[in-house]
Structure 1
């Protein structure tokens, strides 16, 4: 039978080797002799704060004894959340995620610990310790997977939000895992969850899924709006004004029609989006959002006409995107789509935005809740820009943007864009240097 080593034995051995008395060691740690004696004799359990002091006094790195702490005080004894909670926070602070996994695995057979672990996960999330929080949410979700609780739905929502990143395939799998739990959330949480879900599907160009989620959002938002103004609601409020969710759902549906080439339907919804006379909110934030939706609606009207072939509105569209930094990247992408579709010369426009285009990769580092859409827009723009220059015989510029596009597409695992880059490269392979061919081959192998 394997004997589990103990922190107490390690401490005793250290004291003997260094020829230290309990009093002397107590002075080094800042703890009194009685506490040290109780720890050494095993009459007293140890707190994580005391363990950290002892570890430092022994000249060992932070967290050196954490695995033994789990063995001695969590696995081998009845779990005590007053001891476990500060230990989990300290593990998160030191990024000792494997230790957190061991604790969760050791105690989650008992559903009684779920509420407290969920509470700790929420605390870690608030601190921005996402990796640690994710482990706890996953532990609670696994333990409660046969429960039809709101807490399980919230865990799945938190897991979904934390997991969204640069890898589009992983984002898709995360969305599929979360979607069945959306309707178990409180109605207010559902509003934001549906937006988050729709944004992921939109970034993945899953248009039918985007439309279905947008329809659910509209139905729920309209019901909540009616409830809010038919009686004085004492319920907590959503993150944004209630009308936002109705307007945004319409915008999503219009965007789907636009992407599917159903320009008449897209134009109809764009006109609807500009009509916000029905909005009852009058506070400053609501007015700000109202103004933004009207701006977006006007831009969408112009863009839809442009995509349908009305190139006379191009100067107006350029004016609209020039005054809005957030719309510049998607706006330039749209202009390049139109240029390639209708064989337009947009060299003058590209010169006008030369500085912005040269800094376009700054978008990758932007901290945003919608990063997956930013990456999608950036890949799309680079792809269209490469196509434009290659079609017009400007091979050096075209290849440069193509390789940029392929590099980012590989990072975010955008297979559609990678294939488009491959087709474009093969189309002009005869015009590129051997050095560029090597760089291209390396990117293909990475993908």
Structure 2
């Protein structure tokens, strides 16, 4: 122990002499009190442990790279052979932030000899996650899961949840794997995380088009929100526990249940759920945030009422729906998906509607979140069908190729097969250049538009 400590301090003493700094000058530059510096740099038994922040400050003063002497720091984390949580957590956090896994792995290996140290690894993971170093935190959450014997313990379950959040993206295969890993633990989450966990779970299932799971988790979300609301009214729960107002979770559960039914063409059943979130003003004691949620869901209900009318073939509402979308730009993409799906079934002409929103359509590639990209894929597929129905074959093939590329990027292979089949059905209308691009996509998996 003393050898490592002396090496660390000897390196600092060497830099001190190299720069010609007195202890007083070093204290001035580092803003560390001179008395503290003296105790920190002492080479005798009374030396004071150094914090990782102090070591970083010394590195800056001596013009050293981030992570200077980190490999010599672990001894500062021990006191009489006992780990110092206060020193170790910030050290491991900093190592992860700057990528010094060569320092992390040896000390973690030693820590795992004692199961009690799993709590330290969890604290490191949480610190990184809260500080928006999500990818770096995943290493430690995986260590917790691999080392924690009790799968009902809070660190184990929260680690599963955090990894679920971290792994979400636009890759359908990875999202499906994340759902399978996390779903069994959703009801074991602490009370303050269950509602958000269910909300995020049901949204991922929505993008995967797992309508039975969307229905199941949406029902659970709505029921849990109702339970928490009743507990809150009786004074047994506080809304401040949750990330959003309780009315949001109830409304989102109803909305996603309705959308799942709509996607299964159960339009009358879907309309019942639209009515559930059309007016949520019956929630008591709403603050300003809660009142805004109520108004937001009124807007969603209006949009989804139009959606159901259009899907049931009510051509007369198209003009009103288009006007509504013009006033609510965030609804344009999902709204156009609905309109295209309907016109492909009932044979309406919506060229004027598509022209009206042509500028917005050109920007659909800007959607990089999983729900936005899901809607974009669906838009391009239904737009291709629409163009073919109007015998605009070149345009239809362009939309098909566009959709094929998006589907490959998202690893949505069922959509890839649908697009491939659609192209082959209309291959005789394709130009030589379009055929070459199709073949390139099929070989390479994607193409940049």
Do these two structures clear the TM 0.5 threshold for a shared fold by scoring above it?
yes
Render the CA deviation track for 1:64-116: whole Å, top value 9, x for unaligned: 765x44887789x7654344323223223324456545544442342322333
In the alignment, is residue 374 of structure 1 matched against residue 378 of structure 2? Answer: no
Is the aligned partner of 1:419 residue 2:413? no
Contact 1:109-1:143 at 8 Å conserved across structures:
no
Deviation (angstroms), 1:197: 0.5
Mapped to 2, the partners of 1:396 and 1:328 lie a distance apart of 25
In the alignment, structure 1 residue 347 sits paired with structure 2 residue 351: yes
Structure 2, unmatched stretches of 5+, are: 28-33
Sort the Cα spacing of 1:320 and 1:53 in 2 relative to 1 into closer, same or farther, 3 A. closer
1:204: which partner in 2? 208
Alpha-carbon distance in 2 for matches of 1:403, 1:63: 48
The 1:26/1:431 distance shift into structure 2, 3 A limit, reads: farther
Greater mean deviation of Cα atoms: 85-94 or 288-297: 85-94
The number of residue pairs the alignment matches comes to 432
Query: Could you say which residue in structure 2 is the equivalent of 1:435?
Result: 433
| Contact in 2 for aligned 1:74/1:103 (Cα 8 Å) | no
Distance 1:172 1:7, change over 3 A: farther
Question: 2:165, 2:244 → 1: CA distance?
Answer: 18
User: Counterpart in 2 of 1:23?
Assistant: 17
CA distance in structure 2 between the aligned counterparts of 1:446 and 1:385, rounded to whole angstroms: 24
* Residue of 324, 332, 336 corresponding to 1:328: 332
C-alpha contact 1:257 1:266 (8 A) present in aligned 2: yes
TM-score by length of 2: 0.83
Equivalent position of 1:259 in the other structure: 263
Instruction: Look up the match of 1:298.
Output: 302
Q: TM-score, normalised by structure 1?
A: 0.83
| Mapping 1:1-400, distance limit 5 Å | 23-24=17-18, 27=21, 30=26, 48=52, 61-63=65-67, 66=70, 68-69=71-72, 79-96=83-100, 99-100=103-104, 103-231=107-235, 233-234=237-238, 236-364=240-368, 371-400=369-398
- Say which is worse superposed, 292-301 or 51-60, in terms of deviation: 51-60
* Change in 2 beyond 3 A, CA 1:44/1:224: closer
Does the CA-based 8 Å contact 2:404-2:415 persist in structure 1? yes
Matched residues in 2 for 1:257 and 1:83: separation? 53
Would you say the 8 A contact 2:221–2:249 is kept in 1?
yes
The residue that corresponds to 2:31 in the other structure is none
Over 3 Å counting, the alpha-carbon distance change for 1:305 and 1:163 in structure 2 is same
Structure 1 position 283, deviation (Å): 2.2
How far apart are the structure 2 equivalents of 1:326 and 1:356?
Answer: 10
Give the C-alpha shift of residue 344 in structure 1.
2.0
**1:221 CA displacement:** 1.4
Contact 1:124 1:133 in 2 (8 A): yes
Change in CA separation of 1:444 and 1:109 when aligned onto 2, cut-off 3 Å: farther
Cα gap change, 1:69/1:12 in structure 2, threshold over 3 Å: closer, same or farther? closer
Distance 1:202 1:11, change over 3 A: same
CA RMSD of aligned residues (A): 3.5
Secondary structure, counterpart of 2:241 in structure 1: coil
SS at 2:163 equivalent: helix
CA distance in 1, matches of 2:293, 2:241: 16
CA contact (8 A) 2:164 2:179 kept: yes
Gaps of 5+ in 1: 365-370
